[in-house]
Copies of this chain bind each other. A is one copy, B any other.
């Protein structure tokens, strides 16, 4: 099977909403009037971003999900993506499953595959995703204000728990392992929540490298600090209460690979945040406050400091 036949069989579908899709030198996108284009790119490599044991349909899902998560963090509506794929061989069963997982998530979000590139090489997936956002309304990392509440969506730390289990460093009950593995392999990008937070959130970021590091980006770019409540953080990792608290806290704060949203909003908008989250069908939890004083402080239920140091994930550290 040649390169062009491979594209035709597994990836080519007519562009429905954009002027030109796969099959020419470029794709052509036509953002609607008044819209800006949000763009994000992620490169996933076998052994680094995913295990060789992952089912190809799940890999297809995840490769797009991590990019959609970036659009969500900006409040953008997905419209299209390109796919550059390096494959050790053109394995039809693998490609069929990969394309199925990828395109199912794409269809769920109305995000069209408009172009790409295929080549032979060590397994690598590079997706660039495009979303529309009304001009000037993109959610940025830089807008958090002292007094804002800090929120996180969904659950955190499960992908890290699954990874630790795969590495044999922790033994999980079967049910928790299944949940955690599914979270690691099939993350849910919070696309509807991101759009719902436009005009409400003051800052947002997607949690890909771990809460501690990712919140750090928001704090640095907003020139503020934050106080987080340990009890609320632990509440983000349900079903793992049998594990030591320090281990659970490490998974929540330093885990990474969660693809939830972390965002800030004025305390006066607390009810509106809950309303928008309910409208998006995504649970959210208020985990602390933005403060003028730089740095990150963890406190217990009585407001007493809790010591914790966790490194964010850094591919070159």
Contact = CB atoms under 8 A, between A and B. Distances in A.
B314 A4 contact: yes
A140 B116 CA distance: 16
Contacts of A40: 25-27, 82, 115
Contact-residue bracket for chain A:
35 or more
A178 B116 CA distance: 33
A166 to B, nearest CB: 19
B42 A36 contact: no
Interface stretch (A16-24, A226-234, A265-273): A16-24
Contacts of A118: 315-316
Interface stretch (A130-138, A235-243, A290-298, A302-310): A130-138
Nearest to A39: B27
16 contacts: A2-B317, A3-B315, A20-B140, A26-B40, A26-B76, A26-B131, A26-B138, A27-B38, A28-B74, A39-B114, A41-B82, A45-B121, A45-B124, A49-B119, A121-B122, A121-B124
8 tightest Cβ-Cβ pairs between the two chains A and B? A43-B84, A126-B126, A25-B73, A26-B38, A128-B128, A45-B121, A41-B82, A25-B70
